[in-house]
Structure 1
Amino acid sequence: MRVRTSKSSALSTAGAVVLAASLLVTGCSSTKDKKEGPTGSSGKELTATDRLTEAKKVLDGTPGYHFKLQGTDVPKDSSGVLSGEGDVIAKPAFKGTLNVQAGSLAASVPVTSVDGKTWAKMPFSAKTTTINPNTYGAPDPNVLFSKDKGVSTLLPQTKGAKLGGKLRDGKDIVQEITGSLPGSAIKAVLYMGDGTGTFSVKYGLTDDNQVRSAQVIGPFFKGSDKTRYDLTFTNYGQTVDITAP
């Protein structure tokens, strides 16, 4: 038996086929053109080096943040910082605690840095006095958090920067970036090492280029190239009142 097809029915079927094909092509095009990472003002996807340059701008531009430093495999006979934590504002100014080691002596020292000076309450002292942190093998917070000489300057100095995997940081996903830094940069900023050698680095950046973490491994101390320092940056945008004691 022969089935007759009306002209309007045939046109309707043809239209449906064309529409489906159009949707299929559009879907494929959207998938192909979708960017896999953040883009710059030009719309071009940012490279690892671009991301680190943007991360410096973000860190320098925030009113404040919380900072933490943790050392691993610090030689027991060395003099230097073991760990530290505190709040930073854009003056720059810092208020927190540094855990330092001088030979066999280790101590937790409350520190305030503002207006180019640093105050600390040293062990066995009843008073808070001005100090030079470099004397104790610790970085000066007035330099460490400055825009032109501080930790943010390490980001764009990173050599051979490469995008790695992505990891979860609380509610955010961070992009891992690896590379290396020259010993001269580490010495200038962290006041550790002898200014030579190469340090491996690994950063974690959010999609809006907030650097959340930085891991640095290398010859911070003579005779050891495995010492590691982990830096974390949280609470972007916070402001706290930091004044001289």
Structure 2
Amino acid sequence: MRRRALLALAPALLLAVGGCSGGSDAAPPDEAKRIATQRFDQAGALHIDLRSSGLPKGRDGVSKAVGDGVVSADRPAFTGEISGVIQGNPAGISLIAIDEQTWMSFFTKDYNPVEMSTLGAPNPAEFFRPGTGIGQLISETDALTAGEESREGKVVVQTYSGKLPAASVERLFLLGKEADTFDVTYGIEPESGEVRSAEIVGEFYEGHTMTFTVTLSDYGKNVTVDEPA
């Protein structure tokens, strides 16, 4: 009797295992792209963890940025910590960015105005502006195809891979001018349609391939970013 019961359960177990592989039941790429863009642009606020690998020796750039962003067309904002290479030296700063203005705290408790382009870094507030930020990157991705499901922490996401025009990457990262396209893989949470990760690979610096990985969480969290006193 026990053997017959186990044999009866086998098809169900196979179906359950097969259902975790993803791909066949994934939302169509165009629909996933549309919904993910919409979810990001309507998030209100969320947490971001950006990391890079492959920064060329002797070049300034960001290796890590962790903080909270406010998604807004009129007043996008970011507050958090940024690490990287500044003027040839490894450094970590606290940063507040509101629209086009940025302030940083570097070895002090006070925040001082700074022009991010002089540090070889983008203004992180721009990542959260609908129409030109992360949501627009998703919208501008070409040749998107569904891949497998993948676990990212406690979240299972459906992966989608495609190509990003260099102009889209340059607009946001201020890098990649000499590239043609970038390879991108998104992790999209199936139930909510939220993009939870984006891995962008390509020639951010001429002759050097780098990877930027963006992880997003806490969609809709309560975030207030004010100008420093």
What TM-score, normalized by structure 1, do the two folds share? Answer: 0.77
Code of the residue aligned with 1:117 in structure 2: it is Q
Q: Following the alignment from structure 1 to structure 2, what is the Cα–Cα distance between the partners of residues 102 and 171?
A: 35
Q: How far did residue 181 of structure 1 move?
A: 0.7
Local SS of the residue matching 2:145: strand
Q: How many Å apart are 1:103 and its aligned residue? A: 5.1
Q: Provide the rounded CA distance (Å) in 1 between the counterparts of 2:217 and 2:200.
A: 18
Matched, 1:117 2:87: no
Select the structure that is richer in strand: 2
Ranges in structure 2 where 5+ consecutive residues have no aligned partner: 1-23
C-alpha distance in 1, partners of 2:218/2:109? 32
State the shift of 1:131 in Å.
Answer: 1.3
Q: Which runs of 4+ in 1 moved over 2 A?
A: 169-172
- Amino-acid identity (%): 27
How far did residue 224 of structure 1 move? Answer: 0.6
| Counterpart residue identity of residue 216, structure 2 | F
Alignment of 1:228-239 (within 5 A): 228-239=211-222
* Residues 1-245 of structure 1 aligned to structure 2 (within 5 Å): 37=25, 46-91=27-72, 92-102=76-86, 104-123=88-107, 127-194=110-177, 196-207=179-190, 208-225=192-209, 227-245=210-228
Pairwise CA distance, 1:104: 2.9
RMSD: 1.7
Distance 2:47 2:135 in 1: 14
Amino acid at match of 1:214: A
Q: Which has the larger radius of gyration?
A: 1
What residue in structure 2 maps to residue 20 of structure 1? none
Aligned equivalents of 1:172 and 1:144: distance in 2?
23
Any idea what SS the aligned residue of 1:100 has? strand
Q: Deviations over 1:154-200 (max 9, x none)?
A: 10111110000001233332100001111111000111122532110
Structure 1: where are the runs of 5+ without partners?
A: 1-35, 39-45
Whichever residue aligns with residue 40 of structure 2, its letter is L
Partners of 1:76 and 1:103 within 8 A in 2 = no
**What TM-score, normalized to structure 2?**
0.82
